[in-house]
A and B are shown apart, each in its own frame.
Chain A
């Protein structure tokens, strides 16, 4: 484990809350630069997201492109600075991070990316790729680094290790490349793993392999995992809870079974309807799809952001007021006026 000195101020504020990650009304806005010095408004990529993650929990964040899930993920990874709101990791607030804590934080979070080939530097061999986080993290002992590289390559089942660690990324298959990406994310023995569409660029038969690998690692190391995807069909194989995002906000949170069997938000319902299973009956009927498209994040709709497309809109209410979070069933949260 990388050693870090926790600053005194933070030690004083430590109250154990039991959750590893706590996101509090997070907003991430990007300035639109206008020609010159003004700005033409903000892109409200993440606009008020709050949730808590317990240690060892695996959640899926689901949504279509442009819903803000990537920006949310990058804010959690401390790659974007929150515009408003805060993130608390292991009882330490992001807003109070100094460089030492930031360095410690980076060793606690692993990042698995979508594009396995792009995520690996093409001019470095596997060994060097895996050693980089260790070197950056301050592990100077060469033998120790080698030991860790071996261990992690073993865990992602890239063995015999010697066969792989001299290879360059283009010599590996897509699945093998993704294993290297996962190995790199795991090598600092993190507590939290963020996986952004980790299998969407892989072949169908390889996806299952990688998903099983990730699930196995998660269970073995009691990792907290945030799994971001647009493929609803995979979530039941991977996570316990699902968050559904739309236009920068989370519209529904529930356990996997509850959400799949009893979706409450109209958007969630539409997503589930839109996802196909291999069933020949599909060809016989049309799907119900909400009209229109996801809204612009620069000037999002007033009130509930889904209201222009919602089949169950309550006129007079949904257009003007943003719904708060309701809890119609235990552990099942919805931001929709239908459940007032």
Chain B
């Protein structure tokens, strides 16, 4: 994963929020890269900062955003240098789009779904309404929504259908990269499987890349080429999916894998004691140390990122 080949390359991305109790260090120096037509899954529990990472990449900053720095290289160009208006026009939804959390609830209830999906096309591609609608029809085909649904309102569709509409909306401008934040967390098993089939097909047919953000390790394996594990605002492990699922490196990753019930193959379930640290005053040293079963003295210092056979891990055990 070198810079030249990478579609997206992030260096030391930082996003802090200002709150009454102090700055929340949601994204604390994140580095990673993503190649074209690949999917990386960012796995972590609630409060680890993964949703904030998505917002940071898309520059969808809330009002109380504080420090925001780092480099975001999109096809070699650092887009952090662009001002907000350029970012809105050229990057957001033109190059990178997003399917936000609970997207099916984020559809405007008083506008027909066809019009909603057409809107990004009209704004970013400058097409007129008729052309936009034919684009919408194509997108609906890709995601598996019947054409007749264009004139329906969101409440007339089921949850699964609405999620597909949200994906169509992210696709309509043919971006290179889609960020999906918990795309299936509220959906049933079969609907979930359907959505992943859709995502896989789009990846194959259109060559799109994905960043999939989820806490559900099991379903993340449906799409993952690479896996990144996030804990307390930092990426603690990064590597390709096959080796990760077979043998995770970081103790947190192993503990997370051990806590996932599996359908096939009986395994002993284990849980992690304690809670993730607060992002307001993260502890010095390794942030997982208080809960780590393999902790030792060196863990009082912040571990560096260690590269091991093309996998990266932030842990003293591999120094």
Q: Do A and B come from one complex?
A: yes
Given the known interface contacts A173-B275, A274-B193, A275-B189, the answer about A280 and B263 at a Cβ–Cβ threshold of 8 Å is: no
Task: Indicate if B72 sits at the interface (CB-CB under 8 A).
Answer: no
Interface residues of B in 237-273 (CB under 8 A from A): 241-242, 244-246, 255-257, 259-266, 269-272
B200 at interface by CB-CB < 8 Å: yes
Q: A212-B269, A275-B189, A293-B158 are in contact. Are A234 and B221 (CB under 8 A)?
A: no
Complex alpha-carbon distance, A139 and B244, angstroms: 55
CB neighbours (8 Å) of A230 from chain B are 188-189
Instruction: Determine if A277 and B263 form an interchain contact, defined as CB atoms under 8 angstroms apart.
Output: yes
B190 interface contact, C-beta 8 A: yes
Q: Verify A65–B188 contact, CB threshold 8 A.
A: yes
A58 to chain B, nearest CB (A): 15
Asked whether A37 is an interface residue with its Cβ less than 8 Å from the other chain, the reply is no
Expressed in whole angstroms, the minimum distance between the Cβ of B22 and any Cβ of chain A is: 19
Given known pairs A230-B189, A283-B200, the reply for A278 and B261 (CB within 8 Å) is no
What CA separation (Å) do A204 and B185 show in the bound complex? 12
Q: How far is the CB of B111 from chain A (nearest CB, A)?
A: 23
Give Cα A209 to B190, complex, Å: 27
Interface contact B245-A278, CB-CB below 8 Å: yes
Contact of B36 with A by CB under 8 A: no
Please determine whether B245 and A64 come into contact, CB atoms closer than 8 angstroms.
no
Tell me if A205 is interfacial: C-beta within 8 Å of chain B.
yes
Instruction: For residue A105, give the distance in angstroms from its CB to the closest CB of chain B.
Output: 32
**Chain A hits for B223, CB < 8 A:** 283
Inter-subunit contact A232/B216 (CB<8 Å): no
**Which bucket holds chain A's interface residue count?**
35 or more
Size category of the binding interface on chain B: 35 or more
Q: Are A209 and B221 in contact (CB under 8 A)?
A: no
**For the complex, is B222 an interface residue (Cβ under 8 Å from A)?**
yes
Measured CB to CB, the nearest residue on chain B to A273 is B193
B61 CB within 8 Å of chain A: no
Our pick among A203, A209, A277 for the contact of B262 (Cβ within 8 Å) is A277
Give every chain B residue within 8 A of A289 (Cβ-Cβ). 190, 193-194, 197
Can you list 13 A-B contacts (CB < 8 A)? Answer: A65-B188, A203-B45, A205-B45, A208-B259, A234-B261, A275-B218, A276-B193, A278-B218, A282-B222, A283-B224, A286-B201, A289-B190, A289-B193
- On A, residues with C-beta under 8 Å from B are 64-65, 173, 203-209, 211-212, 230-234, 236-237, 260, 270-280, 282-283, 286-287, 289-290, 293
